[in-house]
Amino acid sequence: MKFLDLAKVYIRSGSGGGGCVSFRSEKFIEFGGPDGGDGGGGGSVWAEVVDGLNTLIDFRYQQHFFADNGRPGMGRQRTGKDGQDIVLRVPVGTEILDEDEETVIADMTVVGERVLLARGGNGGWGNLHFKSSTNQAPRRANPGQEGIERTLWLRLKLIADVGLLGMPNAGKSTFLAATSNARPKIADYPFTTLHPNLGVVGVDGVEFVVADIPGLIEGASEGRGLGDLFLGHVERCAVLLHLVDGSSGTLIEDYHTIIGELNAYGGGLAEKPRITVLNKIDALDDEERAFLRDELAEASGGPVMLMSGVSREGVEDVLRALRAQIDDNRLRHRLAEEEEETWRP
């Protein structure tokens, strides 16, 4: 399935049915009076969060969503049928924006959440509603209310606890593959990852979700490379894991490039808790590890951890450091039954 995190949709709620002008006409009833029924209400347009979706690809093939119109009223005080609602089914983490792409209408983060996007028009009153002591035979009825037409943007921001940051080929996909069941594409050339990947990582009896986004390069905020299109997927993360390639000849420059792009993007990413890791230490000897760690610690102004996704050296320590930065209410505890099945005497 292709990944799509931005979609434009056109919606329209149904118009209400018109009221009916009718008079009761039966044998032996001389003065029947008005009996025109009301029109039915138009259908509304809703957005609902459903489980099992992680992309907006469905909205690439259908962009127009029109609810049904209400049916007009009829004689004998019969009310017209209401128009059927239409529901846009979206994945968890979808933001609904107005046409200007800035005004947030709804931020949908819980399965089952529903938001009304366009209410259907009310049905018009039939002439029965206008009967009074001074107007015994009204010959007027209201037309139905027009529906609402809108253009909206859907933007998906993945729900993850940890966001992976780094230059292309910093080892992000290798780390995700080594710690979870995710199988992202891994190769020795830049921009192997072209869309975000999610993986569920477990450590010390708890699980959390890690998001791997395509690598950033200098000028990404201005559209270079893949740009900063995917940084929105780490906005909801509790902590960022910044991987720095230990085999790179421009290690410090790489670090400052990522920090500069976070500052340029905004959205509070630069202020999020961040763990800096010197990756690919399997290609370094002890002296090089110590030297590069000290250099990186001086540049970052904080502690630096050592790790290799290939040899798994230091991976568990990094996972525990991430787990310490995530609130308990975001963690998913493994079921006791699963632990019993794993441990066998």
**Residue 75 has which token pair?**
């004689």
pLDDT surpasses 90 at 113:
yes
Write out pLDDT tens, residues 197-231: 888 888 888 888 898 887 776 665 565 555 566 78
Q: Is 191 annotated as a binding residue?
A: yes
What's the rounded Cα separation, in Å, for the pair 304 and 309?
Answer: 16
Query: 195: annotated binding-site residue?
Result: yes
Q: What pLDDT score was predicted for residue 334?
A: 52
Domains of the chain (ranges, CATH numbers): 1-156 (2.70.210.12), 162-342 (3.40.50.300)
94 marked ligand binding residue: no
Query: Is the predicted pLDDT of residue 338 greater than 70, yes or no?
Result: no
Q: Which residues contact 153 (CB under 8 A, 6 or more apart)?
A: 6, 7, 8, 9, 96, 97, 98, 99, 101
| Residue 317 assigned as binding residue | no
Residues 294-315 pLDDT 10s:
999 999 888 999 999 888 899 9
Q: Is 31 annotated as a binding residue?
A: no
Distance CA 47, CA 314 (A): 44
The answer to the question of whether 2 is labelled as a binding residue is no
Residue 233: pLDDT band (50, 70, 90) is: confident
Element (H, E) at 321: helix 315-325
Q: Is 169 annotated as a binding residue?
A: yes
**Which one has a higher pLDDT value, 232 or 175?**
175
pLDDT digits (tens, 9 = 90+) for 141-199: 999 999 999 999 999 988 888 988 888 888 888 888 888 876 766 666 555 666 778 88
Q: How much is the pLDDT for 190?
A: 58
Enter the pTM of the model: 0.77
15 is in an annotated binding site: no
Confirm whether residue 173 is marked as ligand binding: yes
Q: Is 130 annotated as a binding residue?
A: no
pLDDT at position 200, please? 85
* C-alpha span between 162 and 112 (Å, rounded): 24
Residue 37 assigned as binding residue: no
28 annotated binding-site participant: no
Contacts with 308 (C-beta within 8 Å, 6 or more apart), sequence order = 279, 280, 281, 282, 314, 315
Using 50, 70 and 90 to split pLDDT, how confident is the model at 66? very high
CB 257 within 8 A of CB 221: no
Query: What mean pLDDT comes out for the span 249-257?
Result: 88
Per the annotation, does 143 bind a ligand? no
- Residue 55, annotated as binding a ligand: no
Task: Classify 10 as helix, strand or coil.
Answer: strand
Do residues 72 and 80 lie in contact, with contact meaning Cβ atoms separated by under 8 Å?
Answer: yes
* pLDDT of residue 111 exceeding 50: yes
CB 199 within 8 A of CB 181: yes
Q: Is 29 annotated as a binding residue?
A: no
Q: Which long-range contacts (CB under 8 A, 24 or more apart) does 338-341 make?
A: 339/205
Please report, rounded to a whole number, the percentage of residues in the chain having pLDDT higher than 90: 45
Distance CA 255, CA 6 (A): 29
Residue with tokens 């209401």: 82
